[in-house]
Amino acid sequence: MLAALSLLPMALVCTTCFLKVSMVLVIVRNAIGVQQVPPSIAIYSIALAVTMFVMAPVFNEVISALPEKQAQAQMAGKKIDVQELTEAIEPMRRFMLANTLPERRAHFLALAQRQWRNAKELQVTESDYVILIPTFVVSELELAFQVGFVLYIPFVVIDLLISNLLLALGMQMVSPMVVSLPLKILLFVMLDGWTKLIEGLVSSYA
């Protein structure tokens, strides 16, 4: 039980939307230019809250299936085995399958077959966790950087405009960040940035 609990944070990062949400929030914070606002603990708390919101139906299915499998095992006079536990967490597999592209799963499957060519007894498919989890992690990383790039561009444009404006006014001694930072914060607040950002992240999951 203690060993399983120690692996829980890793499972949370690798099998849920936590990775992408936290990365996007950190990129947005850096794009605005305020390195410590919101603080890192707040960023990860928001990411955890969004993760629980997105994963609530999946977790509900898993929690509902576990007592059923336990009851079936007790009626059969045995303890719940690995296969029954895997069946109970099947909603996690469906979630990851729905949020990864088939060509990426095929790529990792081909990589595994090439890398494990000497292990003849190790037969895997693209829906096995050993293939599905790294595929899901890479997909989440790629999507997080894509979203971060799109969000970063408007803030870079504001910085460039302010820099050129100050240069044209002969105010080279004034740091562009002093002027652009409040403008970026004002723009983000006026556009209801946090709500739209979180709504977009939630809507991106099947």
Query: What is the per-residue pLDDT across 111-123, written as a single tens digit (0 to 9) for each?
Result: 887 877 766 666 7
How many angstroms separate the CA atoms of 89 and 68, rounded? 12
pTM assigned to the model: 0.79
| Structural domain boundaries in the chain | 33-98
Q: What contacts 24+ positions apart, CB below 8 Å, involve 12-17?
A: 12/51, 14/133, 14/136, 14/137, 15/92, 15/95, 15/96, 15/133, 15/136, 16/51, 16/54, 16/55, 17/50, 17/51, 17/54, 17/55, 17/99, 17/140, 17/201, 17/205
CB 105, CB 131: distance < 8 Å? yes
How many angstroms separate the CA atoms of 168 and 171, rounded? 8
Query: What is the per-residue pLDDT across 91-110, written as a single tens digit (0 to 9) for each?
Result: 888 888 888 888 888 888 88
